[in-house]
Structure 1
């Protein structure tokens, strides 16, 4: 990495002054790990120093708030549960051979294209929504051949605080210009009263065809109860390997 010219340890910070070696290349990465002595979790933090031909950062501030081990364990368990759910979703979709292609079917999971996904943490909910949002993910699919079209999808886990089950009948995606796109909808079972359930909505097209952030609107089959979610975005469609 280079020569450590000076370092200083304070009560709440550590300063390092490094003189790069002469053959340090632009883009070269060096990992630096700092270990904390107070016994709290997390016990360490790692940083990457990245070489640049012209730019340098004189000061980087990182603030650490010790967190109880039980909180970290809960977050780890939730992440593992989310991964298991994704695997179950994959297995279920692979079994549904009669479904159409693209993200609303199963072929994309078998290497027929390239899929990107993102967690949607900052969706906005309308106070009048019939259901409450629990989790959300968006997907974009880029085909490697001509069999299936490029497509987008949104997966939602919703909570039903009402006294009646909720069954989705339709959905529409509205981009920031007011353009609306009708979506194909899938729901395995009604979302029970005081229960939770998942829905999947999608359409053909690539992310660049929409001016997002977008608004997603869902409505039920037999009543006026609707769900409107704002700030929906999609991952950039990845390029398939040549």
Structure 2
């Protein structure tokens, strides 16, 4: 509902959503407003628009930070006491024959809180070789554990892997899903295309000092 005031003062109108109540109601709604100068209304409008822009910028920044390598697990490592462990996957991980990219180097990492026995976040950094004629851009990744449970991973890639070139990608996850029963299968897929990468026997380090 829009109300237009007849005295010519600012604001000239006001808009409302009227919501009915099952047990309460009225046939008449009166609207009162305190007149304000156009300068005051314009200032409030500009402030509201500036606040909305700031919210949009903050949202975009937070979404971008989630895609950074540090956003996968870095906040946990920096802000809470615990153990960070890493290990190489070369020699233990298995590449499937149909993979679109080749694995040149790989490292898995885990972060375990000081009062916990299982990781609260895990990540893997993979250096991949693209033998194809087109660049390869990571669109998504997932882990499948030995029980068949699948979880989607956060991903980071600085730039597409060029044709006949190599580059690194980082994938990871925080929270309870990080406590998967591995060895796991890691699946990566490209944006808008059929080329995929599947790695089997992927594991993450554990804090052995705390027991199984």
TM range (shorter): 0.5 to 0.7
Residue 118 (1) aligns with residue 87 (2): yes
Q: 1:205 to 1:111 in 2, by over 3 A?
A: closer
Pairing 1:70-219 to 2, within 5 Å after superposition: 99-100=65-66, 104-108=72-76, 110=78, 112=80, 113-121=82-90, 122-143=92-113, 150-205=120-175, 209-219=179-189
The separation in 1 between residues aligned to 2:104 and 2:111, in whole angstroms, is 24
> 2:22: which partner in 1?
none
Question: Which residue of the partner structure matches residue 205 of structure 2?
Answer: 235
Report the aligned-residue RMSD: 2.9
**CA–CA distance in 1 between the matches of 2:186 and 2:132?**
21
Name the count of aligned residue pairs. Answer: 141
* C-alpha deviation, 1:177, in angstroms: 1.1
Higher helix share: 2
Aligned partners of 1:132, 1:115: CA distance in 2, in Å? 27
Shift of 1:105: 4.7
* Residues 207, 236 of structure 1: 8 Å contact kept: no
Map residues 10-89 of structure 1 onto 2, 5 A cutoff: none
> Which of 190, 195, 199 is equivalent to 1:220?
190
Residue 104 (structure 1) shift: 1.2
Relative to structure 1, is the Cα distance of residues 209 and 185 closer, same or farther in structure 2, using a 3 angstrom cutoff?
same
How many angstroms does 1:173 deviate by? 0.2
Pair 1:206–1:235, CA change in 2 (3 A): farther
C-alpha spacing 1:207/1:184, structure 2 compared with 1 (3 Å)? closer
Q: Deviations over 1:73-125 (max 9, x none)?
A: xxxxxxxxxxxxxxxxxxxxxxx9x7349761533554634211111122111
Q: Which runs of 5 or more structure 2 residues have no equivalent in the other structure?
A: 1-61
Q: State the secondary structure of the residue aligned to 1:236.
A: coil
- 1:151–1:105: structure 2 CA closer, same or farther, 3 Å change rule? closer
Deviation at 1:150, TM superposition (A): 1.9
The match for 2:44 is: none
Q: CA deviation at 1:212?
A: 1.1
- Computing the radius of gyration over CA atoms, which structure comes out larger, 1 or 2? 2
Give TM-score scaled by structure 2 length: 0.59
Gaps of 5+ in 1: 1-95
